[in-house]
Amino acid sequence: MTPGTAGFRGSPGTHEEWRGWREATHEALYGPEGFYRAGPEGPAGHFRTSVHASPLFAGAVARLLCRVDAALGRPAVLDFVDLAAGRGELVTGVLAALPAEVAARTRAYAVEVAARPEGLDPRIRWLREPPHGLTGLLFANEWLDNVPVEVAEVDAAGVARRVLVRGDGAQRLGEPVAGAEAEWLARWWPLTGEEGLRAEIGLPRDAAWASAVAALDAGLAVAADYAHTAAARPPFGTLTGFRQGRETEPVPDGSCDITAHVALDACAAAHTARCTPGHAPPDALMRPQREALHALGVTGVRPPLALASTDPAAYVRALASASQAAELTAAGGLGDFWWLLQPVGALDAAALLVDVADHEEQ
């Protein structure tokens, strides 16, 4: 389960019922027959995330966890939280990649709305919400983009109105955006008077992220997602659907994933706003996934051709690893994700991303 998706208790909508995108998406994704509850394969059956692309990703997260561990002085208990865990692929991979001494001290959590999958490592605690009082690393891979949000669109009179949707995907304009949602738009995603411009109102994501970070007493929270900042908001929004590996129209009937890119700068500021006045939190850091993974040793550098002659098997393994790394860091693909690193306590997020030697990719 995901913090920020709780609170809706309505019955599933019919094709005739008009609702805001937030309520409709919540029911379609997390309701009793929702997309994230269906099928043993989980999200992996419909789209390819960094976790599914290569074990190198889990290895990089394990390396980050070790750096957080060292920065915290190697506590007796080190927490790792896989937020929006799917079927537990990331947390399983991280535990497998950790050095034995670190793994022995690690308390692992998977947070997910779906039921615990059979055969999962018994060391992993399966929860619907993150516990509190954590010391370590909380990692949310492609979570915030699935926290449902309202959609606003500018009408012919230049007024931003809430977009309503039916169960069959038909849309129409509703009431004008007002209150806290209007304030959020004015600060984070101002809409000019041009008819048809759209924005996704990220207020629920801000609250969800601030709540997730609050689970940490000390450590680092990371959100990895397709994202944008105030300098380059998409003029018509990014709401879309995915079904069986292909992008599709977002229809809130439980048959497809419904997602929208994240205003990640707003999420970072939401945690800061919750901090005690006079106690400024450590600076958050935003980096493209390509840069973050490079700093954690995932470079995509191909092995030297001479290795093919001296150790063909090692060359093939190294070549496969380089191919996977290239996918994780590729421009126009997974490399375009953004990482938000939000430290809690006396951690320096920038110091945790120590660049590896810069090799020319072939």
Q: What is the pLDDT of residues 330-358, one digit of tens each?
A: 677 766 789 999 999 989 999 999 764 43
- pLDDT top residue among 68 and 273: 68
Give the residues across from 153 on adjacent strands: 161, 198
What residues have CB less than 8 Å from 296, skipping those under 6 apart?
A: 60, 63, 64, 353, 356
CB 81 within 8 A of CB 211: no
The confidence score (pLDDT) of residue 354 equals 79
At 159 the three-state DSSP class reads: coil
- For residue range 211-237, list pLDDT tens digits in order: 999 999 999 999 999 999 999 999 999
Residues 56, 53: Cα–Cα separation, whole Å: 8
Which SS3 state, helix, strand or coil, does residue 132 take? coil
Reported as a single tens digit per residue, the pLDDT across 37-84 is 765 555 555 556 777 766 888 999 999 999 999 999 999 999 999 999
Strands 262-263 and 171-176: unpaired
Whole-angstrom distance, CA of residue 162 vs CA of residue 222: 30
Query: For residue 141, which phi and psi values (nearest 5 degrees)?
Result: -95, 120
Beta carbons of 21 and 239 less than 8 angstroms apart = yes
Report the pLDDT value the prediction gives residue 355, as an integer from 0 to 100. Answer: 67
Residue 49 confidence (pLDDT)? 73
Report the pLDDT value the prediction gives residue 275, as an integer from 0 to 100: 65
Contact 208, 4 (CB under 8 A): yes
Two tokens, residue 89: 């692929």
Segments of 226-330 assigned E as strands: 227-228, 240-243, 246-248, 257-259, 262-263, 285-288
Give the integer Cα–Cα distance in Å for 195 and 160.
9
Give the chain's mean pLDDT: 86
Distance CA 266, CA 227 (A): 11
Quick check: 71 and 352 in contact, CB under 8 A? yes
Question: Is residue 361 very low, low, confident or very high in pLDDT (cuts 50, 70, 90)?
Answer: very low
Q: What is the DSSP letter of 335?
A: G
Environment class of 245 (CB within 10 Å of its CB; exposed 0-12, middle 13-18, buried 19+): exposed
Amino acid at 79: D
The pLDDT, as a whole number, for residue 334 is 66
CA–CA dist 271, 284 (Å, integer): 10
| pLDDT score of 114 | 87
> How do residues 121-174 score in pLDDT, each as one tens digit?
999 999 999 999 999 999 999 999 999 999 999 999 999 999 999 999 999 999
pLDDT at 15: 58
pLDDT of res. 36? 82
Q: For residue 128, what are the CA distances in angstroms to 2, 153, 172?
A: 7, 33, 34
